[in-house]
Structure 1
Amino acid sequence: MPTTNDSAAIFSRVAELKQKLQETAAERDQIGGTAFKERQLIRDSGLLKLFLPEAFGGAAQSWPVVLGTIREIASVDSSLAHIYGFQHLILATIQLFGTPRQTERLFAETGQNNLFWGNALNPLDERTLLTQTAGRLFVNGRKSFCSGARDSDRLLISALDDKGRLIVAAVPSNRKGIILNDDWDNIGQRQTDSGSVEFNQVELFEDEILRTPGPLGSIFASLRPLIAQLTLSNIYLGIAQGALQEAIEFTRTKGRPWFASRVKHVGDDPYILHRLGELSSEIRAAEALTDLAAANLQAAWKRGDDLTNEERGKLALDVAATKVISSRVGLEVSSKLFDITGARATARTLNLDRYWRNVRVHSLHDPVDYKLRDLGDWLLNQNWPKPSFYS
């Protein structure tokens, strides 16, 4: 489907995709594995090219729009939102870490062939090494938490060279020696394919390595982890929104007032109304903070190589606060939805616990305690968060 740059048309397309994903989301969560059919729906939607410039067949959309679509999809299927969100993160990484020539080539290939990118970066997993033999480069080892790698067309990978430096590269997913394992079976985010990837003497070519400026090689390049964190925050918030909507729908159609309330209709039960108001308020606050961070990211993105340490630092604090609040709201709403719906909503066929399981697994991506530390360090010592792959 052609990509449009009209935001109203984009969100209309997202709504269509959401409806299709929602029809099977609960069942697919129980099954796990790769959502081949649903990934194709995303391909067909044209949304994979949302971030790309128009010159490459994309919609050239801003970060608030891109992140907004991720949040919308997460409200019905956070696994597919995770994979979809990483598509845009990876394309941004290519632009931030690579040369203009590399960016142009990879963007052109992505736009022309509607490529779906997968992740095998994981800088904390140091089991993958880059070696040189007779002037040729080879990657060997294994990576964990490789979200979206299965059924992908291209992979963003990393390895340590002989000097211990992190090397990031973009390669075809079907290159000889790459094995995409079907070994993700965690309690949540069950269709993110976040299993392992093996590299057995995989040849790597020099023009595939993103060296200039390279991983976090400039202030502008260090926006990459902030984009990643804000992507995750929008997924957590989307999960909270979806969980609350499920609670509302169940209560409207199947809810009963508690006998002690002395009311006839569930809509008059004071404690259900209280709980709905409480959770709605928390979501509204998280939405405001997350949207502010997205707007500030867009402003920083426009600065390009003129971005200063102070500007980057302020954005990092916004993103840290967003990560903390969205994580907490996601866990709170996905747990307390049962206080609204009652015991009958715990039926396994409804699978409403998937909201909590998804946000619980995903929010462990990196401990929010370290985001709180960064916020506290700024307040007390005026130290900006130090750029890393997680801050």
Structure 2
Amino acid sequence: MSLNPQALPTNPLQTVRELTPWFAETAVERDAKGGTPKAERDALRDSGLLALVIPRQHGGLGASWYDTFEVVREVARVDSSLAHVFGFHHLMLATVRLFSSPEQWQPWFEQTARNHWFWGNALNPLDTRTVLRKFEGWYEFSGKKSFCSGASDSQMLIASAIDESAGGKLLIAAIPSGRTGISLHDDWDNIGQRQTDSGSATFERVRVEHAEMLLNPGPLSTPFASLRPLIAQLHFANLFLGIAEGAFDEARQYTLKESRPWFRSNASSSQEDPYILKHYGEFWVGLESVRLLIERAAHRLDDAWRKEHDLGAEERAQLALAVGTAKVAATRHGLDICNRLFEVTGARATHASLRFDRYWRNLRTQTLHDPVDYRIQELGDWALNAKRPTPSFYS
């Protein structure tokens, strides 16, 4: 399935809602298979949605982060792996916008919009196995990198390396995915998020030009540049909410159409059973609270994004607290719903062909990459000691 690749969508939400039923048709089968969702990624290319956050003057849609995450969440309801790499694509674009000069990011944006480039990730600050060497006017990356989500079938990569000559300083570059020396390995075989291609990459003496290095202003160098990790965290919060909403919708349909009341219940149908109604009421409260927290954080992010270099440290800190709160809530309520959906669907809902377990597997897999306990500790330090979060690649 593809849309007209010559025209950008005038209503991104309507466009993605035309695609998601088609994504849903094969989501269960593809979850079992793993690998790269090539046809689905191509559909996103043809739809024009890869240009969502690119400003109109550079050929894109000029969407806000609020609207962009709403589109990502629509995908996550039916296919969280595809939503993961789709959201990461926009995160990579934000990375070049925040860390590089206009002379760099503007041409990259224009080429992305014109050529439907998909951006992948090879930036893992905790994986320091890739190192760089400096030469006159260029650099060389060598080593391995793990958790390279969306790198397969991408045109551009955001890659990081350690400068050992500068005390282990992290440096970041934007480079073509097909450059000589880059090997993307098909070795992602986890219980969840099975089509994110989050396996490893090897860099063998990869030449990186000086103009491809994101040095000015560089990573996390200003309050504005420090928005990058908050965009990442809010992306995950929306991903988690989308998964939970998908689980809720599928459980609801099953309860209405297939479930039977327990033999000791006085209810004539499952939808009248008081315990099932209790569960659904609790699910609803959880989803609504997460939605409101995410909306608040997204609006604050858009305000901060518009201020650019006028953004102050205090405003950035308040945004970090809003994003962290939303992510904790999305994690807790999401895992609760994805686990307890079987309590409102019954034993028959565990049939392997339904794969209702994929919601929990996908959410559980992704939430482990940023332990929620440390996020709560950060929020607690603010609540008790009024200590602002310190900008890092995870906060």
Place the TM-score, normalised by the shorter chain, in its bin: over 0.9
Equivalent residue for 1:19? 21
Equivalent residue for 1:121? 123
Match of 1:63 among 55, 65, 75: 65
Match of 1:376 among 377, 380, 386: 380
1:6-59 alpha-carbon deviations (Å, 9 max, x no partner)? 4xx211111111111111111110111111111111111111101111122211
1:69-148 to 2 correspondences below 5 Å: 69-133=71-135, 136-148=138-150
Partners of 1:3 and 1:213 in 2: how far apart? Answer: 31
Partners of 1:263 and 1:22 in 2: how far apart? Answer: 33
Equivalent residue for 1:209? 213
Partners of 2:290 and 2:307 in 1: how far apart? Answer: 26
1:1-391 to 2 correspondences below 5 Å: 1=5, 2-4=7-9, 6=10, 9-133=11-135, 136-161=138-163, 162-163=165-166, 164-391=168-395
Shift of 1:121: 0.4
Shift of 1:264: 2.2
Structure 1: runs of 5 or more not aligned = none
Partners of 2:44 and 2:318 in 1: how far apart? Answer: 34
Check the 8 A contact 1:52/1:107 in 2, yes or no.
yes
Partners of 1:134 and 1:299 in 2: how far apart? Answer: 41
1:184-215 alpha-carbon deviations (Å, 9 max, x no partner)? 00000000000001000100100000101001
Partners of 1:294 and 1:135 in 2: how far apart? Answer: 40
Partners of 2:308 and 2:314 in 1: how far apart? Answer: 14
Shift of 1:381: 1.7
Q: TM-score, normalised by structure 1?
A: 0.97
Partners of 1:83 and 1:388 in 2: how far apart? Answer: 22
Check the 8 A contact 1:331/1:359 in 2, yes or no.
yes
Report SS of the residue matched to 1:221: coil
Report SS of the residue matched to 1:11: helix
Partners of 2:280 and 2:388 in 1: how far apart? Answer: 37
Check the 8 A contact 2:183/2:201 in 1, yes or no.
yes
Structure 2 residue identity aligned to 1:109: Q
1:48-91 alpha-carbon deviations (Å, 9 max, x no partner)? 10111112221100010001111111011100000000011110
1:106-164 alpha-carbon deviations (Å, 9 max, x no partner)? 11111110100000001110000111357642110010000000010110000011212
Partners of 1:355 and 1:134 in 2: how far apart? Answer: 50
Shift of 1:265: 2.0
Quickly say closer, same or farther: Cα 1:364–1:351, change in 2 above 3 A.
Answer: same
Quickly say closer, same or farther: Cα 1:214–1:346, change in 2 above 3 A.
Answer: same
Report SS of the residue matched to 1:336: helix
1:279-316 alpha-carbon deviations (Å, 9 max, x no partner)? 11110111011111001111111111011111001000
Partners of 2:100 and 2:137 in 1: how far apart? Answer: 22
Check the 8 A contact 2:137/2:210 in 1, yes or no.
no
Check the 8 A contact 1:130/1:137 in 2, yes or no.
yes
Structure 1 residue identity aligned to 2:57: A
Structure 2 residue identity aligned to 1:297: L
Structure 2: runs of 5 or more not aligned = none
Structure 1 residue identity aligned to 2:103: R
1:155-187 alpha-carbon deviations (Å, 9 max, x no partner)? 000001121211110000000000010000000
Number of aligned residue pairs? 388
Partners of 2:361 and 2:86 in 1: how far apart? Answer: 19
* Cα RMSD after superposing both structures: 1.0
Partners of 1:243 and 1:135 in 2: how far apart? Answer: 51
Report SS of the residue matched to 2:150: coil
Structure 2 residue identity aligned to 1:100: P
Structure 2 residue identity aligned to 1:171: I
